[in-house]
Chain A
Amino acid sequence: MANPTPKPEQIAAVDHKPPAADWMDTKPEFKPGMFLYAVRKESLEGVGQPNPRDWNPTDADWKLPADWKGIVREGIKERLQRFRSFQIFMDICVRCGACADKCHFFIGSGDPKNMPVLRAELLRSIYRGEFKVAGKILGKLAGGRKLTEEVIKEWFYYYFQCTECRRCSVYCPYGIDTAEITIMAREILNLLGCQIDWVGTPVNNCFHTGNHLGLKPHTYKENVEYLLDDIEEYSGVRINPSFNRKGAELLFITPSGDVFADPGIFTFMGYLMLFDHIGLDYTWSTYASEGGNFGFFTSHEMMKRLNAKMYAEAKRLGVKWILGGECGHMWRVITQYMDTMNGPADFLEVPVSPITGTRFQNSASTKMVHISEFTADLIHNNKLKLDPSRNDHLRVTFHDSCNPARGMGMLEEPRYILNNVCNNFFEMPPQTIRENTFCCGGGAGLNAGENMEMRFRGGLPRMNAVQYVKDRHGVNMLACVCAVDRAVFPAHLEYWVPGVKNCGVTELVANALVMDGEIPRQYNLRGEEVNDLREEVDLPPIQWPEEEEGGEPSEEGGE
């Protein structure tokens, strides 16, 4: 949609100051780049979600169901009863403002409705106006307002501009978690069929084929095989993993994005090499081929349905426990919800590393161990042959992904690994890492393409901290343990901090791994020539032995 060119008199009348208006009186404008597309009808139908229809957020008429007000009121009421936290969060906020400036979307956009306190108020004002006597009578004066279609549009705009990262909750003296309010608001929007496509379609795909993109088993396997060819090309080692093998000791599950999307594929290659290196008895599943769970961004019920398939597959294959890859929200689902939702998984064993004998007591109930916990334990017990100097051309910093950091409390393991697989590791400033970490800007289903400007705003605080370590320490690689981060960061970095690339932690592990039977590792997993990379940072070239063969990769490998 092109905007008409303004007339000279309109330009002359441009006032630099925005009008002073109460937040309740300002309405969101759905501009390209700033909002997410509506879910397609078939995706809702595929999983039996209510009110599937064709609609568009820029339409005046959203074709809400006839009794939409009743549905919303009932939806709020039911959730107030079911979730004690929701009721408390609706009641106890004293509007102290401690959370106000902690949201990356507020910091990056400057839009006051992205202040967590106001984001929550979007729903709280309806709670007051529709459920509380004072709010019903006094309306605005008591912070209440009436439910209108405009409110639904505003919810859609702002609750799909929250990545459920929980940074704000860290600063709230009452522990109010705005992410949970967003979760409730999205559930209610879902009752009206107001979902975004980037969440709704992956949910439907995942439910029917096992992963977000809807890759069928043979396609999934083929993709892995391509990666195996690349591994052989660059390292000289041929790996033959198993798929859907009954009786394997472990089942490995990771986000499907990493099997085809650049640069996640290099982390995926890392898993394959690591497991081969230690001789792990494990299998991949082409049915539970998705670690991510976009059901979490839909409703508790949908999250449960999608989570259940991983455990059903573990049961079918008869494995002892599940090892999980680098993913963000998958771990929040496992750590915070799985146990009371689909657990306890009593048919599985308490995870014990077959290589080190370490018992992962923290996963005694969920039976699922994070790859970073697993790898850190391997390194701690000297089970990996590592040559960290292979990563010497990299100056690495680490982004704590919101969910592993704030959702499961995993802060040390990735750092321990990085410090063992590379020689140049630098932390970003303390107010931007660990539990204070800034979101990548694309979590909770917001990593679509159509909302890139919105995402860039959300990613600004994180990128600003990356810029700082780039300027200070020459950092050129941003490592993380989340597949969404991996997909989101390339564009964010190009725009905000050109010259810095991003990767998964396991990619760096694999580049440092000294594999049995390997050829000289002249190329990294991306097919880049190590000596070229060294030259870029003024390191002397490595002299490779002459007679080795197989060093020249073909055209299509990497860029």
Chain B
Amino acid sequence: MTFQELLLKHKSSILGDWVKAIVETYPAETARFLRQSKDQFANPVGAAIKTETEHIFDQLVSGGAERQELDKFLDRIIRIRAVQDFTPALALGFIYDLKRAVRRRLEKDLKQQGLEEELLKFEETVDNLMLQGFAIYVSCREQIYDLKAMEMRNLYAKVLERSGIFTVVPDQETLEPLSETDEQNKA
């Protein structure tokens, strides 16, 4: 059996372990809810964890993992964790939990079949996944700060602009040479 075949054979138990590990980063009462409630609208967080871990797993197993696709799946989990009560480490730690799940379920078989090398390669892929996740997490946090600024602008910019207190700077590309812009602002 190849490494890929082994992964596929143990897919449900690996995913089960992985989901369990993610869900258990929440307090016990919440973990129970995240696991049990099946309605994707009543339990969007649980549904995202369940669906996207499977998507990620399938991509990795398929061999030709598409970075963009992985970004999309990771984003759906990380976007949520980026606003929840987690430190950055805890928000992203779930990615490494995939390593633990695979090792736990496959270690014996891999040893028997001399496929440890493959496991290391797989773990490297997960390390890369973590880097991808890190970029997503940071972009989510940055977006929150941008949105705070946008909201302020939506709230007050029109009033301030009309009263002349505030001038909207045109997009960078449309900026005229400095002297002309100054003239326009004065006008």
Q: Chain A interface (Cβ within 8 Å of chain B)?
A: 6, 11, 14, 16-18, 20, 31, 33-34, 100-101, 106-112, 115, 222-223, 226, 260-263, 265, 429, 431-432, 449, 452-453, 456-457, 460-461, 464-465, 468, 487, 490-491, 494-496, 556
Q: Chain B interface (Cβ within 8 Å of chain A)?
A: 21, 24-30, 33-34, 37, 39-45, 79-80, 83-85, 89-90, 93-94, 97, 140, 143-144, 147-148, 150-152, 154-159, 161-162, 168
Q: Least Cβ distance of B101 to chain A in Å?
A: 12
Task: A459 to B62: give the CA distance in the assembly, Å.
Answer: 35
Please determine whether A101 and B148 come into contact, CB atoms closer than 8 angstroms. Answer: no
Among A6, A18, A100, A452, the most chain B Cβ lie within 10 Å of the Cβ of A18
Task: A16 to B90: give the CA distance in the assembly, Å.
Answer: 6
Q: Least Cβ distance of B167 to chain A in Å?
A: 10
Residue of A with least CB distance to B26 = A110
Please determine whether B41 and A260 come into contact, CB atoms closer than 8 angstroms. Answer: no
Please determine whether B24 and A16 come into contact, CB atoms closer than 8 angstroms. Answer: yes
Please determine whether B158 and A34 come into contact, CB atoms closer than 8 angstroms. Answer: no
Q: How many A-B residue pairs have CB under 8 A?
A: 123
Task: A110 to B33: give the CA distance in the assembly, Å.
Answer: 9
Please determine whether B79 and A262 come into contact, CB atoms closer than 8 angstroms. Answer: no
Please determine whether A101 and B42 come into contact, CB atoms closer than 8 angstroms. Answer: yes
CB neighbours of B45 from chain A (8 A): 107-108, 110, 460
Please determine whether B147 and A452 come into contact, CB atoms closer than 8 angstroms. Answer: yes
CB neighbours of B147 from chain A (8 A): 452, 491, 494-495
CB neighbours of B42 from chain A (8 A): 101, 107, 431, 461
Between-chain CB contacts (< 8 Å), 27 pairs? A14-B89, A17-B25, A31-B85, A33-B144, A107-B43, A110-B84, A111-B27, A112-B29, A223-B162, A226-B158, A262-B155, A262-B158, A429-B41, A431-B39, A431-B41, A432-B41, A449-B151, A452-B147, A452-B148, A456-B83, A464-B40, A465-B41, A487-B154, A490-B151, A491-B150, A495-B79, A495-B147
Residue of B with least CB distance to A17 = B24
CB neighbours of A11 from chain B (8 A): 89
Task: A427 to B113: give the CA distance in the assembly, Å.
Answer: 54
Please determine whether A495 and B25 come into contact, CB atoms closer than 8 angstroms. Answer: no
Please determine whether A464 and B84 come into contact, CB atoms closer than 8 angstroms. Answer: no
B30 interface neighbour in A6, A111, A431, A487, Cβ under 8 Å:
A111
CB neighbours of A17 from chain B (8 A): 24-25
Among B41, B42, B89, B90, the most chain A Cβ lie within 10 Å of the Cβ of B41
Please determine whether A34 and B93 come into contact, CB atoms closer than 8 angstroms. Answer: no
Residue of B with least CB distance to A555 = B170
Task: A33 to B84: give the CA distance in the assembly, Å.
Answer: 10
Task: A461 to B42: give the CA distance in the assembly, Å.
Answer: 7
Residue of A with least CB distance to B47 = A464
CB neighbours of A111 from chain B (8 A): 27, 30, 85
Among A6, A226, A464, the most chain B Cβ lie within 10 Å of the Cβ of A464
Q: Least Cβ distance of B7 to chain A in Å?
A: 23
Task: A453 to B143: give the CA distance in the assembly, Å.
Answer: 11
Task: A108 to B81: give the CA distance in the assembly, Å.
Answer: 10
Among B21, B83, B140, B152, the most chain A Cβ lie within 10 Å of the Cβ of B83
Task: A260 to B152: give the CA distance in the assembly, Å.
Answer: 12
Task: A112 to B84: give the CA distance in the assembly, Å.
Answer: 13
Q: Knowing that A449-B151, A452-B148 are A-B contacts, what are 20 other residue pairs whose CB atoms are under 8 Å apart, sorted by A's residue number?
A: A16-B93, A16-B94, A33-B144, A34-B85, A101-B42, A108-B83, A110-B85, A111-B30, A111-B85, A112-B27, A261-B154, A262-B157, A431-B39, A453-B83, A457-B84, A464-B41, A491-B147, A495-B147, A556-B161, A556-B168
Task: A490 to B152: give the CA distance in the assembly, Å.
Answer: 12
Task: A431 to B85: give the CA distance in the assembly, Å.
Answer: 27
Residue of A with least CB distance to B36 = A101
Q: Least Cβ distance of A27 to chain B in Å?
A: 13
Please determine whether A491 and B93 come into contact, CB atoms closer than 8 angstroms. Answer: no
CB neighbours of A14 from chain B (8 A): 89-90, 93
Task: A408 to B72: give the CA distance in the assembly, Å.
Answer: 40
Task: A49 to B39: give the CA distance in the assembly, Å.
Answer: 45
Given A101-B42, A431-B39, also A18-B151 (CB < 8 A) = no
Please determine whether B79 and A223 come into contact, CB atoms closer than 8 angstroms. Answer: no
Q: Least Cβ distance of B106 to chain A in Å?
A: 21
Residue of B with least CB distance to A432 = B41
Task: A101 to B37: give the CA distance in the assembly, Å.
Answer: 9
CB neighbours of A461 from chain B (8 A): 41-42, 44
Please determine whether B143 and A495 come into contact, CB atoms closer than 8 angstroms. Answer: yes
Residue of A with least CB distance to B159 = A260
CB neighbours of A468 from chain B (8 A): 41
Residue of A with least CB distance to B25 = A16
Task: A468 to B33: give the CA distance in the assembly, Å.
Answer: 21
Given A34-B85, A261-B155, also A494-B80 (CB < 8 A) = no
Q: Least Cβ distance of B142 to chain A in Å?
A: 11
Q: Least Cβ distance of B81 to chain A in Å?
A: 10
CB neighbours of A494 from chain B (8 A): 143, 147, 150
Residue of B with least CB distance to A21 = B27
Q: Least Cβ distance of B69 to chain A in Å?
A: 16
Q: Least Cβ distance of A375 to chain B in Å?
A: 25
Please determine whether B158 and A265 come into contact, CB atoms closer than 8 angstroms. Answer: yes
Residue of B with least CB distance to A486 = B154
Among A11, A31, A491, the most chain B Cβ lie within 10 Å of the Cβ of A491
CB neighbours of B85 from chain A (8 A): 31, 34, 109-111
CB neighbours of B155 from chain A (8 A): 260-262, 487
Q: Least Cβ distance of A1 to chain B in Å?
A: 14
B159 interface neighbour in A107, A223, A491, Cβ under 8 Å:
A223
Residue of A with least CB distance to B28 = A20
Task: A460 to B80: give the CA distance in the assembly, Å.
Answer: 8
CB neighbours of B151 from chain A (8 A): 449, 452, 487, 490-491
Please determine whether B154 and A100 come into contact, CB atoms closer than 8 angstroms. Answer: no
Please determine whether A16 and B21 come into contact, CB atoms closer than 8 angstroms. Answer: yes
Please determine whether A115 and B29 come into contact, CB atoms closer than 8 angstroms. Answer: yes
Task: A112 to B143: give the CA distance in the assembly, Å.
Answer: 27
CB neighbours of A465 from chain B (8 A): 41
Task: A315 to B157: give the CA distance in the assembly, Å.
Answer: 35
CB neighbours of A222 from chain B (8 A): 162
CB neighbours of A107 from chain B (8 A): 42-45
CB neighbours of A432 from chain B (8 A): 41
Please determine whether A260 and B84 come into contact, CB atoms closer than 8 angstroms. Answer: no
CB neighbours of B154 from chain A (8 A): 261-263, 487, 490
Q: Least Cβ distance of B82 to chain A in Å?
A: 8
